[in-house]
Structure 1
Amino acid sequence: MTAPSPRPHAHPFVPYRPERLPVADGLRRGQELFEHLDSRRSVRFFSPDPVPREAIELAVRSANTAPSGAHQQPWTFVAVQDPGLKHQIRLAAEAEEKAFYERADIPQWHGALSQLETDANKDYLDVVPWIVVAFAQKYGVTGAGRQKHYYVNESVGIACGLFINALHTMGLATLTHTPNPMGFLTKILDRPTSERPYIVFPIGYPAADCEVPDLTRKPLDEALIWR
């Protein structure tokens, strides 16, 4: 039986008593988490080996723990395993990417991507066992009509970060693929106009011969300012 709250509330509240760790244990856990996340890389070379449905479910459950504006959780994850649908996504994504790479008016953008050696070919979308597309709910739809959502981009971005973390924790790899524009995903995946595509996640195990660019991460003194 839940103990009554010492404060009056108009809505249900429950006690929150997380474990308070000794400082040394907390720092150790923080270091372990950093080292784990620092080993994560975005992958473009995938194995076709199957990934269990339960892994996708766990990753989305992890995403669902994200904080969100007014706790509206304005995200939908669509998991695609069907080869025909995956191929449709690949063809549409490659068409958009081809147009992007052929644009002559964005040389700086192309230059920034050059170190990644990416191009319009997205053959991994046919190879991976799963494509998961995160959709942002621009507004909710209830029996009473539209429900305004707050801080949608921030909320969905945090959820996607936890989703990526969960995949990495299970030994899986992914890539944040954002072809522009992405409206074709709404049609292919039969999503309502209240949602917009946010990120495409190809998901699988890295290929046996997988390679990634030799990059370094931003140093702490550039990412953190003390005041």
Structure 2
Amino acid sequence: MKPEKTILINGHKHIQFQHESVSENEMLKRATTFYNMCNKRRSIRDFSEKEIPIEVIENLIKTASTAPSGANKQPWTFCVVKSAEIKHKIRLAAEEEERKSYAERMSDEWLEDLKHLGTDANKPFLETAPYLIIVFKKPYEIDAEGKKHPNYYVNESVGLACGFLISAIHNAGLVTLTHTPSPMRFLEQILKRPSNERAFLVLPVGYPATETFVPDIERKKLNAIMNVY
């Protein structure tokens, strides 16, 4: 094994990147295989209560943590909720906000756009899924002396990490749903998160229920989403 090459850039150590080179045929094969896998992903609202080893969840989150972030600040926290009591509290609070949204906050056009998905203010998946992963973003860090230090491109960074996480969940043979009850400050309160964390996304994780149905919808075709210049 060759010794690792290192250099200094602006006085900071850099290590040589190790790249796996593959043929164009292998490249296309991998790209096609990954697309075909991801194209089977659906947002699932009916979960089985079947248990999942915590080691699987740990590896999913480790995968999410490989996402790029502004200045490598990694401005995220992933809270894993298994407790039935805490999941129940989260469901009650989320449904309260959702009822207000469906009754008062959402426009008529928004509600009309949601009809074909069959959603409403009831969120039983927040209790039936064996795990909830609550993703928090961190606009700033707080050092030992209580001083604030900014993070950069926080929404973009955390959004990328969530994309990695969703792909990892699907790759593991599990299902999830992106749930964003708004506002979400109740999550910070229930989980007693520090003042520099803001709830970003709720991901129930588990197996689908034995009989699960999803909306009969299609993704946009490539020529509607891609432009080559």
Q: TM-score range by the shorter chain?
A: over 0.9
Structure 1 residue 8, shift from structure 2 partner: 4.6
State the distance in 1 between where 2:6 and 2:140 align: 35
State the distance in 2 between where 1:163 and 1:58 align: 10
Alignment partner, residue 70 of structure 2: 69
State the distance in 1 between where 2:114 and 2:25 align: 41
Q: Deviations over 1:131-157 (max 9, x none)?
A: 110000111111251110000000000
- 1:177 counterpart (156, 175, 179): 179
- 2:215 counterpart (213, 217, 226): 213
Give ranges in structure 1 of 5+ residues lacking alignment.
none
Are 2:91 and 2:127, in contact at CA under 8 Å, matched by a contact in 1?
yes
Alignment partner, residue 10 of structure 1: 11
The letter of the residue matching 1:163 is L
State the distance in 1 between where 2:49 and 2:166 align: 19
Structure 1 residue 4, shift from structure 2 partner: 3.7
Distance 1:8 1:85, change over 3 A: closer
State the distance in 2 between where 1:23 and 1:134 align: 37
What SS does the aligned partner of 2:220 have? coil
Q: Deviations over 1:109-144 (max 9, x none)?
A: 111111111000011111111011000011111125
Q: Which consecutive segments of 4 or more residues in structure 1 shift more than 6 A? A: none
User: Which shows bigger deviation, 54-63 or 97-106?
Assistant: 97-106
User: Which shows bigger deviation, 102-111 or 207-216?
Assistant: 102-111
TM-score normalized with structure 2 length? 0.96
Alignment partner, residue 142 of structure 1: 143
Alignment partner, residue 186 of structure 1: 188
State the distance in 2 between where 1:180 and 1:4 align: 47
State the distance in 2 between where 1:109 and 1:196 align: 25
Count of residue pairs brought into register by the alignment:
226
Map of 1:52-91 to 2, 5 A cutoff?
52-91=53-92
User: Which shows bigger deviation, 101-110 or 213-222?
Assistant: 101-110
Distance 1:94 1:4, change over 3 A: closer
Are 2:134 and 2:199, in contact at CA under 8 Å, matched by a contact in 1?
yes
State the distance in 2 between where 1:78 and 1:124 align: 17
Structure 1 residue 17, shift from structure 2 partner: 2.2
Map of 1:158-177 to 2, 5 A cutoff?
158-177=160-179
Considering only aligned residues, what root-mean-square deviation do their CA atoms show, in Å? 1.2
TM-score normalized with structure 1 length? 0.96
Give ranges in structure 2 of 5+ residues lacking alignment.
none
Are 2:175 and 2:205, in contact at CA under 8 Å, matched by a contact in 1?
yes
State the distance in 1 between where 2:58 and 2:47 align: 20
Structure 1 residue 9, shift from structure 2 partner: 4.2
Structure 1 residue 54, shift from structure 2 partner: 0.9
Alignment partner, residue 127 of structure 2: 126
Q: Deviations over 1:25-47 (max 9, x none)?
A: 10110000000000000100000
Confirm or deny that 1:115 pairs with 2:120.
no
